[in-house]
Amino acid sequence: FNGVTDTHPTKREFYSLAAQVAGFAVPEFECGNDSTNYKIVSNTKVKQALGFSFKHDDLLGYLR
């Protein structure tokens, strides 16, 4: 089973928000570095098989 949120933010979105929340400078990213060739990990099996629900299903919403 995978313990991941329902949302799939990009690295840019996640690290920019995490830096802001922690009071750090927002990291700089190279243009065009948000690859669209990536794998999305799903939490569907754990929710269906065990009736599991996550406390925080939106990672970015949790950080805010």
pLDDT, tens digit (0-9, with 9 covering 90-100), for 22-56: 999 999 988 765 666 677 889 999 999 999 888 87
- Residue among 59, 52, 47 at smallest CA distance from 10: 59
Pairwise CA distance, residues 62 & 6, whole Å: 12
- Looking at residue 11, its amino acid is K
What confidence tier does 15 reach under pLDDT thresholds 50, 70, 90? very high
**Cβ atoms of 41 and 35 closer than 8 Å:** no
